[in-house]
């Protein structure tokens, strides 16, 4: 074999570079996301734990209730009545989508298409 | 066997009585079956406007009356169109192939196709004015029947609504709608909103969905009237409940002769036009 030394060195360098991401991150987990809520002192529609685990379920139920059944009021477990609206109820408190929604969604590699239609006031000012 | 005249008459009378009642029952039944399609087409104006097709469940049947006597006086007025398109963030694409519209103006012979072709004696001044058109929120909406995903549906109050989450953009509804009241988002609708004032209370749509007038369901839920009706300074638009005999729309329909678009199709629109 001609130039076997060079070829082998080249192969070793190639393998090292190609596998770099694997051994560089070995044993380390990606840091847990830390969502930040900007508005303080206001309670969410349901408890923190429930929202963390089931907000997607709640939003799914909400959208059918508001749009298809025409029922736009939600009564939560505390007995309070909330207007069903992602844009006008949820996003009024969670106005910092980048620091609140995106941090977890990016971490979990979830890409909801809510924002294709629903407004996120700060971000939408950039595209308009 | 010898049959006396007396007995013969008894038998004939008895069988006539039994046969007659059976036939009359049959006729009655047939009569009901016959009458119902008749009712669908040729009923009196009062029936047409009010009773008969009203949703029993909610007791509400939203409808709009467009008074062309007032509307045609204000040439070039676009208040209602601007208000609707602002409130719902309807994108603006000038190319007619990409156009998205919820409420717009069209020529008489496009709006009342059957009447204009059948009757050449319509006065010229009526033919000249552009007519305000929007989704008719039909009693019998063909768009709802053809939608494979039930993205478009009829609410108990008669509004034909769109669930944009479910729309797959097949455009069957556009093909089915005889009024051309539906628009398809060929492009990202947000491109058509650039530089415009936005209503942050209402979402936009995404590319690949069909959209249309929703009779302002989101405003009705808050107890407001539709944006176009509110914006019309000249009182040409009236919105109300057809099921309520005391409502403003019913009063207008009682006192004036009103037309609906393409009545021969049997879609029974809920938008009425007072022509003259």
pLDDT band at B1 (very low <50, low <70, confident <90, very high): low
For the segment A64-68, the average pLDDT, to the nearest whole number, is 91
Q: CA nearest B194 in A: which residue?
A: A128
Contact A113 B206 (CB under 8 A): yes
pLDDT attached to residue B39: 41
Q: Which residues in chain B touch residue A70, judged by CB atoms under 8 angstroms apart?
A: 155-157, 217, 221
In order, the DSSP letters of B22-85 are: HHHHHHHHHHHHHHHHHHHHS--HHHHHSSSSS-TTTS--EEEEEEHHHHTTSTT--HHHHHHH
Contact A121 B204 (CB under 8 A): no
Q: Which of B153, B196, B206 sits opposite A117 (nearest CB)?
A: B206
Structure tokens given for B116 = 């204009």
Do the domain assignments include residue A125? no
What domains lie within chain B, and their CATH numbers? 62-274 (3.30.70.20)
Contact present, B210 and B160 (Cβ < 8 Å): no
Q: Provide the domain count of chain A.
A: 1
Put simply, whether B193 touches A (Cβ < 8 Å) is yes
Structural domain boundaries enclosing A93:
48-108
pLDDT attached to residue B125: 84
Do the domain assignments include residue A63? yes
CA distance B154 to B161: 6
- Pairing of the two strands A81-83 and B210-211: unpaired
Q: Which residues in chain A touch residue B195, judged by CB atoms under 8 angstroms apart?
A: 128
pLDDT at residue B41 above 70? Answer: no
pLDDT at residue B30 above 70? Answer: no
CA distance B275 to B127: 10
Distance from CA of B241 to the nearest CA of A (A): 17
CA distance B274 to B276: 6
Q: Which residues in chain A touch residue B217, judged by CB atoms under 8 angstroms apart?
A: 70
Put simply, whether B205 touches A (Cβ < 8 Å) is yes
Q: Which of A117, A121, A127 sits opposite B200 (nearest CB)?
A: A121
User: Cα B100–B222–B86 angle (5° rounding)?
Assistant: 25
Q: CA nearest A68 in B: which residue?
A: B163
Put simply, whether B5 touches A (Cβ < 8 Å) is no
In terms of Cβ atoms closer than 10 Å to its own Cβ (0-12, 13-18, 19+), residue A5 is exposed
Q: Which residue has the higher pLDDT, A92 or B151?
A: B151
| DSSP annotation of B250 | H
Residues whose CB falls within 8 Å of the CB of residue A103, separated by 6 or more in sequence, listed in order: A33, A34, A35, A36
- From B215, B269, B236, select the one nearest B88 (Cα to Cα): B215
| DSSP annotation of B271 | E
ipTM score of complex: 0.77
pLDDT attached to residue A124: 72
pLDDT digits (tens, 9 = 90+) for B45-99: 444 444 444 555 568 999 999 999 999 888 889 999 999 999 999 999 999 999 9
For chain B, the average pLDDT equals 86
For the segment A23-29, the average pLDDT, to the nearest whole number, is 85
Distance from CA of B203 to the nearest CA of A (A): 5
Q: Which pTM value belongs to this model?
A: 0.76
Nearest-Å Rg of the Cα atoms of chain B is 25
Residues whose CB falls within 8 Å of the CB of residue B247, separated by 6 or more in sequence, listed in order: B240, B241
Do the domain assignments include residue A99? yes
Contact B217 A70 (CB under 8 A): yes
Q: Which helix (H) or strand (E) holds A5?
A: helix A4-18
Residues whose CB falls within 8 Å of the CB of residue A77, separated by 6 or more in sequence, listed in order: A46, A47, A50
Beta strands (DSSP E) in chain A are 73-75, 81-83
pLDDT attached to residue B40: 41
Do the domain assignments include residue A123? no
Contact B205 A68 (CB under 8 A): no
pLDDT band at B137 (very low <50, low <70, confident <90, very high): very high
Task: Classify residue A81 as left (phi > 0), alpha (psi -120 to 50) or beta.
Answer: beta
How many C-beta atoms surround the C-beta of residue B103 within 10 A? 24
Do the domain assignments include residue A43? no
pLDDT digits (tens, 9 = 90+) for B184-238: 999 999 999 988 899 999 999 999 999 999 999 999 999 999 999 999 999 999 9
Q: CA nearest A116 in B: which residue?
A: B206
Do the domain assignments include residue A54? yes
Do the domain assignments include residue A114? no
Do the domain assignments include residue A92? yes
pLDDT at residue B33 above 50? Answer: no
Structure tokens given for A56 = 């997607």
């Amino acid at each position: 074999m001609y130039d076997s030394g060079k070829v082998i060195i080249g192969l070793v360098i190639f393998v090292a570079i190609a596998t770099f991401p694997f051994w560089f991150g070995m044993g380390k987990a990606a840091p847990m996301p830390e969502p930040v809520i900007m508005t303080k002192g206001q309670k969410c529609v349901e408890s923190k734990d429930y929202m963390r685990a089931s907000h997607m379920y709640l939003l799914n139920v909400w959208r059918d209730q508001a749009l298809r059944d025409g029922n736009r009021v939600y009564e939560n477990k505390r007995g309070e009545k909330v207007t069903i609206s992602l844009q006008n109820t949820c996003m009024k408190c969670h106005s910092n989508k980048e620091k609140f929604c995106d941090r977890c969604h990016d971490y979990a590699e979830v890409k909801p298409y809510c924002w294709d239609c629903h407004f996120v006031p700060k971000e939408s000012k950039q595209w308009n | 066997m010898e049959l006396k005249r007396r007995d013969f008459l008894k038998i004939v009378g008895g069988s006539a009585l039994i046969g007659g009642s059976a036939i009359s029952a049959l006729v009655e039944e047939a009569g009901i079956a016959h009458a119902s399609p008749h009712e669908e087409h040729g009923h009196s104006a009062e029936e047409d406007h009010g009773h008969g097709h009203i949703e029993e469940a909610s007791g509400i049947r939203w409808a709009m009356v467009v008074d062309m006597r007032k509307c045609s006086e204000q040439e070039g007025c676009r208040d209602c169109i601007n208000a609707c398109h602002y409130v719902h963030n309807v994108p603006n694409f000038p190319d007619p192939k990409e156009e998205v519209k919820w409420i717009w103006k069209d020529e008489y012979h496009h709006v009342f196709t059957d009447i204009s072709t059948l009757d050449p004696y319509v006065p010229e001044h009526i033919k000249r004015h552009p007519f305000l058109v929007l989704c008719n929120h039909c009693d019998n909406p063909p768009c709802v029947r053809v939608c494979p995903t039930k993205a478009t549906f009829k609410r108990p109050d008669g509004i034909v609504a769109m669930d944009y989450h479910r729309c797959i953009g097949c455009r069957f509804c556009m093909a089915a709608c005889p009024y051309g009241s539906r628009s398809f988002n060929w492009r990202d609708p947000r491109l058509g909103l650039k530089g415009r004032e936005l209503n942050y209370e209402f979402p936009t749509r995404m590319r690949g969905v069909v959209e249309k007038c929703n009779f302002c369901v989101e405003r009705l839920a808050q107890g407001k009237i539709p944006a176009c009706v509110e914006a019309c300074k000249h009182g040409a638009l009236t919105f109300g409940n057809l099921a309520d005999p005391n409502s403003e729309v019913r009063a207008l329909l009682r006192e004036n002769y009103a037309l609906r678009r393409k009545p021969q199709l049997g879609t029974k629109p809920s938008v009425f036009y007072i022509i003259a």
